[in-house]
């Protein structure tokens, strides 16, 4: 039962005890863009911000998933990707990436 009391080495998102600065940065950016996109998608007139933030969040999240090394990183990236995708699709439904700019 001693293994159950073993302290975790490394940071919150590095379960293997090694630092992962690129993956941690991608995780933070994906979460920030996902939350921004999700919240701004609730307002029709902010469709430019929600669609662009969602698109960039999807791209950074996908790259983060490709390079992630631990389960904790992948879990956070999936949350950010989901929020970014919902925000992106609602932003596209409200006017899209360029809606209203060239009228």
Q: Give the sign of the dihedral formed by CA 47, CA 50, CA 56, CA 62.
A: negative
pLDDT band at residue 84 using 50, 70 and 90 as cut-offs: very high
Do 69 and 20 meet the contact criterion of CB atoms below 8 Å apart?
Answer: yes
Report pLDDT for 4.
Answer: 63
Kindly report, residue by residue over 6-62, the tens digit of the pLDDT: 555 555 655 787 888 999 999 999 999 999 999 999 998 999 999 999 999 999 999
Tokens 């006017």 locate to: 95
Do 40 and 87 meet the contact criterion of CB atoms below 8 Å apart?
Answer: yes
The C-alpha atoms of residue 34 and residue 55 are separated, in whole angstroms, by: 9
Residue among 86, 13, 11, 24 at smallest CA distance from 55: 86
Q: Helix 21-40 crosses helix 71-94 at what angle (to 10 degrees)?
A: 30
Q: Which two tokens stand for residue 89?
A: 């699709």
The C-alpha atoms of residue 103 and residue 94 are separated, in whole angstroms, by: 15
């Amino acid at each position: 039962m001693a293994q159950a009391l073993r302290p975790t080495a490394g940071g919150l998102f590095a379960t293997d005890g090694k630092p992962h600065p690129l993956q941690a940065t991608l995780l933070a950016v994906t979460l920030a863009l996902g939350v921004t996109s999700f919240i701004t998608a609730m307002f029709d007139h902010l469709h430019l911000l929600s669609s662009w933030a969602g698109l960039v969040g999807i791209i950074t999240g996908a790259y983060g998933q490709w390079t992630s090394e631990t389960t904790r990183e992948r879990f956070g990236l999936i949350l950010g990707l989901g929020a970014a995708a919902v925000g992106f699709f609602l932003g596209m439904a409200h006017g899209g990436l360029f809606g209203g700019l060239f009228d």
